[in-house]
Structure formats: structure tokens, C-alpha cells
Amino acid sequence: MSTPLQQRALASYFGAFDSAPQVLVQAPGRVNLIGEHTDYNDGFVLPCAIDFHTVIAIGPRTDGRVRVVAADFGHALDDFALGDTIAHAGPRSAWADYVRGAVQMGLREGLPLRGANLAIAGDVPQGAGLSSSAALEVAVLQALKSLLGTTAPAPARMAQLAQAAENDFVGCRCGIMDQMISACGQAGHALLIDCRSLQTQAAPLPDDLAVMIVHSRVRRGLVDSAYNERRRQCEQAARVLGVSHLRDATLAQLLAAHGQLDDTVFRRARHIITENARTLAAHQALTRGDLPEMGRLMAASHASMRDDFEITVPAIDALVALMQQAIGADGGARMTGGGFGGCCVGLLREDQAERVAAAIESGYRSPDGEPPHVWITRAVDGAGPLSL
């Protein structure tokens, strides 16, 4: 039986193109349990794919054009010609650039696309740090792949193409984590991703574990410019330390070079180096079901994001403190995502979820007086086809 989200994509397709699609696909959003801003430093991350998705209905064309309808934007339409260089959609249709960029990368990969109709619907909260953009990019590539009946590109390669779409077409220099977990997620598991080799190690989530996502209702207006600035600062630190990426640096090396770095760049590098170590330790703790240790690591991660990487805001810090107090020692909480607002993630025992959610809903309001959104989610599989 199709879900309401799938039905919305299908209805949008029928309404725009007056025909039935050939294929229906999905790609999930994600929440990162620990390992923030480490991905573009060739480091380690520990996300899981979550049960919020982008769904695309797609059918063929043969005229060298792609037509797209976005159910989430008032059934807005985009129409562009295929070619080596696809033009940008313009600021009024920013969503369309993620589609155009993914199509262009698919063509450059050799997908023999002659044209397509796409209808897109999603329920990944936008602007919340749950990777709605990566889900869209990966879903577009999965749709093209399924339409053409090919098994290539493989999931990890699909993630690389989606990342290239965001880096080179959209212009945000993100790392590989968001696209990788959207393409490669495993139901019931978090995934330790080595962002250099793209090797993954699954960590089973205990059956009685709840993954809680809390939207702070703080809009993430500064994230793109700040993200690119943080990346430049990490690259500067790596050059001074004589390594290609901060993944290869040790804390001892950083401390020895303290005098060669200004304080801000030093602290940025300290976050990355210590966050990589925390992420590897968290994978081990999660694998053995050690929630108290996960809580300690998540608390240290949040403190590092606040003090060294400076990507939290006071409302987020207050929300995390409230979550940690409500959860207690058997679990933990931290901000998740690029920063400056968005969501926090908590790990806790399932039988505590209702109590903790009530404490958060009664104890937190955004700076604008808005209540939080609280979701209890589960780890799901990555991108793939759906039954029509």
C-alpha cells in the first residue's frame, strides 16, 4: 500500500503530465548521531537514515528536455534542456538547482538520458539540518538510474555525484556524509562512514533505543556562508600542520603548532581532531549498547561545537541542556547538522521517550516563542525503487 507521500508524488505527476510514471523511487533524510563537520576533513561520521523521505515519480521523454513539478512548492514547474552545461534556475527557484545539478552530474557520469518528466514530493523538514537537499539530490540520481534500468552508479558513487552537484553546481562545499547515508543507509543501524575511503561499518541500534529529533524552530540563516568559512579555516590549519586533511593530524601535533595558528583556527582544528576520536569511540559504544558512554561522548561533542567550532546558538545550547537533564545518565543529546539552529538529537531508552518528550515540549520555546517539534524516528534503508 502506498503512503500519503507516495500518493502525493503520483498525484502531482498525473496532474502535470496527464500520464502515469514509469518508476517511483525514494531517498531518506538523515540525523547524525555524532561527528560534525568532520566529513569534509576526510574524517569519520556516525549518522543513520531516518523515516523522512523525498519521493520522485519519473517517466521518459525523448526530446532532450527535463520537466519537473515540485508538489511541496505549490506544484511549481521547472523545464530545462539537457547538455554538458545546464543553466541555473535562478534565485526564485532555488529548489530546482539541486535537481539540475544532480541531472548534470548523472549525464557526466554517462547516464544515457534523453529526457524525463519528474514529480517530487518530500516530508524531510526543510532548514532543520536533516539533509532535505541531499535526499533530493540522491533521489534524482536514483530516479534516473531506475528509469534507465541500470545498476550503475553504485550507491557510494551515487553519493559522490550528489555531493558534486551540491559543491560544483549549487555552490555549498558540503562533505560527503549527507549524500552517503541517504544512498547507503541500513534499516535498524547507524553507519560509521570513513569519509576518505567511503568504507562503512554498521552499528546495530538496540531494539529498546529511541532516536529523538527535536527541532528548535531556530532558522538556520547563516549556515552556508559559515559552513564555507569553517571549511577554509580547517584547510588553513591542515596546511600549517603539514597534512592533507585534519583527519591525519593528532592533538599532540596541533598543540605543538599552537604558536603558528591564531586562536580561532586552533580551536577549529581542535574540534575536528577530538570529534574524530569521539566518533570512533561512539561507534564502539553503540555497538556494545553502552548508552551512558554515548551520553558522555555526545555531551563532549556538543561542548566542542559550542566552544571550539562556534556553530551553536544560545537557544540550541539551552535545548540540549534540557534534553540531557530529562534523559539522565542513560543516554545523551547534542546539536546535529551544520549549526546555527535546526535540530538536536537524543538517544534514550524507548520507555523514557514519552516522559522526555513531555519535558521538552513544556520546557522549551524558541526565541520567537515557538514550541519545539519532537519526533521519535527509526533508522531506515537508503535510496531505492518503490512499488507503483
The pair phi, psi for residue 308, each rounded to 5°, is: -95, -45
- Whether residue 230 is found in the same domain as residue 173: no
Shared-domain flag, residues 136 and 264: no
Task: Identify whether the C-beta of residue 82 lies closer than 8 Å to the C-beta of residue 235.
Answer: no
Domain count, the chain: 2
pLDDT at 169: 94
Q: Are residues 214 and 195 in the same domain?
A: no
Interstrand relation of 23-34 and 65-70 (parallel, antiparallel or unpaired)? unpaired
Q: What is the DSSP string of 315-380?
A: HHHHHHHHHHHHHTTSEEEEEESSSSSSEEEEEEEGGGHHHHHHHHHHH---TTSPPPEEEEE-B-
10 Å Cβ neighbour count for 118? 27
Q: Which residues pair with 66 in a beta bridge?
A: 80, 116
Mark whether 153 and 66 lie in a shared domain.
yes
Is the domain of 53 the same as that of 100?
Answer: yes
Same domain, 338 and 248: yes
Q: Are residues 241 and 307 in the same domain?
A: yes
Contacts for 79 with CB less than 8 Å, ≥ 6 apart: 65, 66, 67, 68
CA distances (Å), 45 to each of 8, 23, 201, in order?
Answer: 33, 32, 11
Positions of the chain with pLDDT under 50: none
Quick one: pLDDT at residue 174?
Answer: 82
End-to-end alpha carbon distance in the chain: 9
Range of the domain at 223: 209-377
CATH number reported for the structural domain that contains residue 304 in this entry: 3.30.70.890
pLDDT of residue 221: 61
Q: What is the pLDDT of residues 193-217, one digit of tens each?
A: 999 999 999 999 998 999 999 999 9
Alpha carbon of residue 83 to chain centroid: 28
Report the pLDDT value the prediction gives residue 224, as an integer from 0 to 100. Answer: 67
What's the whole-model pTM score?
0.92
Cβ contacts of 129 within 8 Å, gap of 6 or more:
220, 336, 337, 338, 339, 341, 342, 343
- Strands 200-204 and 23-34, bridge-based pairing: unpaired
d(CA 259, CA 366): 40
pLDDT number for residue 171: 86
Question: Which grid cell sits at 229?
Answer: 568559512
Could you say which of 168, 178, 208, 351 is catalytic? Answer: 178
Instruction: State the pLDDT at residue 1.
Output: 63
245/361 same-domain check: yes
CATH number at residue 178: 3.30.230.10
In DSSP notation, 96-157 reads HHHHHHHHHHHHHTT-----EEEEEEE-SPTTTTS-HHHHHHHHHHHHHHHHHT---S-HHH
Q: Name the grid cell of 299.
A: 555531551
Residue 268 to residue 308: CA distance in whole angstroms: 6
| Residue 293 shares a structural domain with residue 359 | yes
| 97 carries an active-site annotation | no
Q: What are 216's three cell numbers?
A: 528548535
> What are φ and ψ of residue 217, in 5° steps?
65, 20
User: How many CA within 13 A on the CB side of residue 244?
Assistant: 4
Are 184 and 304 in a shared domain?
A: no
Same domain, residue pair 104 and 174: yes
- Are residues 174 and 225 part of one domain? no
Give the helix/strand (H/E) hosting 66: strand 65-70
